[in-house]
Amino acid sequence: MGRRVWNDWFAVHHLKHDDNHIYAPPATDRWEKPHNGWVKCNVDDVFFSEDRVTTMGACFRDHVDNFVAGFTQRQRATLSTVEGEAWALLQAMKKANYRGLDRVQFESNSQVLTEAIRTKRSGNSEFSLVAADIIQIMLLCINFEVKFVRDK
C-alpha cells in the first residue's frame, strides 16, 4: 500500500513540476469555483502614475465562494503592469503559505506572468527575479497553481 501511495504522489508531483514546465490549468473567461478543499485567489494591481504609487491586492475564496482572506498593499514605486502583477502574486503566495493554505489556485490576468511561470523563464530584470521567487514557492508548495484569466 505504501509504495502505491508513493508512486501516485511522485506521478502527480512530476506532472505538476517537470524539469521545463510548471502545470497551469487552462485559461478561462469567467470565475469558476475551485474544487472542494481548494481555495481560489485572485490577484491584481492598480497604478497611479501621477503619485508614483502602485496598489495591489488579493482575495481568497473557498469552493462555495465564501471570503477566506484578503489583503491590499500600497508601494511608493511605479512598477510596470507585469511587475506589479508579479509582485501581487508573490505576496499572495506568501500570505497563503503563512495562513497554512496549501491548496490554492491563483488567478492572474497577466498572460506574460503566467507563461513566465509555466515555462520557468529566467532573466535579469526585476520581473524575472520576482517570477523566480514565485517559481521557488511553487516548487515547495506543489498544490499551488497559477492560472491565466482574461479580463472582461
Write out pLDDT tens, residues 49-64.
778 888 899 999 999 9
pLDDT of amino acid 61: 96
Produce one character per residue of 96-112: b if its CB has 16 or more CB atoms within 10 Å, e if not: beeeebebbbbbbbbeb
Adjacency order of strands within the sheet including 39-48:
67-75, 53-61, 39-48, 104-108, 144-148
Q: Which residue has the cell 497553481?
A: 145
Question: For 113-138, what is the mean pLDDT?
Answer: 92
Name the more confident of 47 and 59. Answer: 59
Question: For 67-84, what is the mean pLDDT?
Answer: 88
Task: Give the separation between CA 124 and CA 37, rounded to whole angstroms.
Answer: 37
Per-chain mean pLDDT for the chain: 83
Confidence band (pLDDT; 50, 70, 90) for 78? confident
Q: Where are the alpha helices (DSSP H) in 1-152?
A: 2-16, 81-99, 111-118, 126-140
pLDDT of 95 over the 80 cut:
yes
